[in-house]
Structure formats: C-alpha cells, structure tokens
Structure 1
Amino acid sequence: MTESKINFLKMKNNFKQGRVGLSMVELMITIGVMAIVVSAGFVNLRNFQGKKALSNEADSIVAVLRRAQQNAVGQENASAWGVKFFNQVSGGDYYQVFYGASYAAGTAESIKYLSLGLKFTSPTSGNSTEILFVKGTGLTNVVTVVIAESKDLSNTKTVSVNALGLAKRDD
C-alpha cells in the first residue's frame, strides 16, 4: 500500500471513531478572534462616521457664509447680511443667518442646528460670535469658528473668514 492510501485509511478510521473535527477550545478561540476583528471594524466605522459628519458640517457652514456674503454684495433686501454662531450651555449649538445692521437689529432669515454629536468649541460655551458682511462690498471682520465632535474634542474642523469676506475650511 502507498503512504497516501495508508493516511486516507487512518483518517477514515478516525472519522468513524468521531476523532475528526474541531475541539471546543479551537472553536472558542476562533469565535473570540472573530469577535475582536468585528469589534475593531465597528470602532473604525464609528470614527469614520464622526469625521465625515464633522467635515460635512464644516462644508455646510462655509456654504452658508458664502451665501450670506453674496447676499450682502448683491444688496439683497437692501441690507448687510450676517451669520451668528451660538454655543449653548445646554441644548444644541446652532447658527442663524440674518440681514440688517446687526443681529440684534436685524431680521432672522434661517436657523441651522449642528448635527447630533457635534458642538462649537469656538465660540466657547455660553457665548456667541457674529459675522456681518458689509452691504455692497461683502467685507467683514476676521473670524474663526471651530466645531468638534462632542465625544472627542481633539477632532476639530476650523472655518475662517478673512477681512475680504472669503470663507474657507482650514484642514
């Protein structure tokens, strides 16, 4: 008999006696390794989703600022335009588009709350920041707004506006 045939017969004999297969220890180790791999995948997915939400929110703020600046240059409603950012002590942080000489004397046009899990770190808690674009020119004061993930304040995106009214996301 050849060696391969002998090995086959031994394996066939072991199978009949129930000795072929995985032991309970091998099965538990395999399940444990799979659980670790799946958990790591979920953690990475959550981190990716948080970073993506942060980037999307920063892009949204830049778009709102650019629209407000364009409205001021175009003298929509014969007025200056602006955006005011509110960092709430409790409740969701938000920003509001307005037109008029200032937020206090102006007319609110729209309000947008930050996405769940995000907050402003600048302006600081309980404070607000106002950006006013001058009617006809779109010029403004230099302002920086910083948003962060609520669960990881080190993960931030910065939106800045220069004196010419150019809004951009700083990465």
Structure 2
Amino acid sequence: MKNNSAEKKIPIYLKIYEDLKNKIEKNEYPENSKLPSIRQLALKYKLNNITIMKAFTLLEKEGYIIKKRGIGIFVKSKESLFYNTPSNNLIETFKVGQLKENNRINFASGTPSEDVYPFEIFKKLYSDVLEESGPKIMLYHPTQGLEELREVIKKSVEDKGIFVSKDDIQITSGSQQGLD
C-alpha cells in the first residue's frame, strides 16, 4: 500500500479491500483458498476487527470471497468471480448509506439508506408541524425534550401498565445522544 497524500484521504478499509482484491486477482490468494482470519489481518495491519470486516464485506458483495460461518473466508472460484465494477459503484454507496442486499441490511456504513424513510409522510408531518407551531419550532427546547411529547409518551406507557413521571422520560435525537 502506498502512502501518497491523495491516498491518505481514502478510508483504511478501502485500502485493505484494494490490497486483498489485488492479491486475489494476481492469484496470490488462489481460488478456493482460505484467507487469513479477521483477527490475523487486524493484527497484521494493526487495525481493529471492524475495519477488516468492512473490507471483507465489500469483497463479498463484489463476489470475490465467500464467508462460511464457523469455517472461514474463502476466495471464490474463477467461474464465480466477476471483475466488472457494479453499476451502483459500491465504494460510493459506503459514503452515502447502507447497502441493501437480499432483503438484508449491510451495516458497514452507519448511515441508513435513504429509501428506509417514508419521505412523503415526513414531508406532510413537517409541513403540519411548521403550520401549527410557526417559527417557535425552530427555537431551542428543554434538554429533556418537549413537555407535551413527554406527556403523550407517559400516557401511552401508562396504558400498558407502566407508571412513570414525565420527568423520567428523555427525548433524544438519535442513538449516540441516548448513549451519551
């Protein structure tokens, strides 16, 4: 792997992916051979396992390898390898959202795919909220979240036999904020 300034901007998992892909194409890892484990490659490159898994996920998506649970990761046979770049350029997809394959979601990227959102419903709801609340909706709100929303949640959980105070409810804007 080279260290020029243009390449430094490329995420490390893509560099690992390119390195492994080149070795497969040059037959350094022959067809049907077992690749080093995620742990072995993480130690070799001094990276964490997730970075190596991201590279393997991309290699698998492009048809270079096959993962066999409990056995290992293997180079696909030449007949099943395809070297054509997919039309939806997978490397770009990692930058913009999750890949969906066979009704499964690939969580290599932390960004959801745009098609998981019901855009038209959100558009109508946003319009309704802006119409009802006006510019005050853009102001800062209490750190626990809107009192009215916490009251609605309180009543909803009480209907299920869980009794809490609205002060026990915290509204967050995402999982990271919730963890924090």
TM-score (norm 1): 0.24
Richer in helix (by share): 2
With a CA cutoff of 8 Å and minimum separation of 6, indicate the structure with the bigger relative contact order.
Answer: 1
TM-score (norm 2): 0.23
Question: Highest Rg: 1 or 2?
Answer: 1
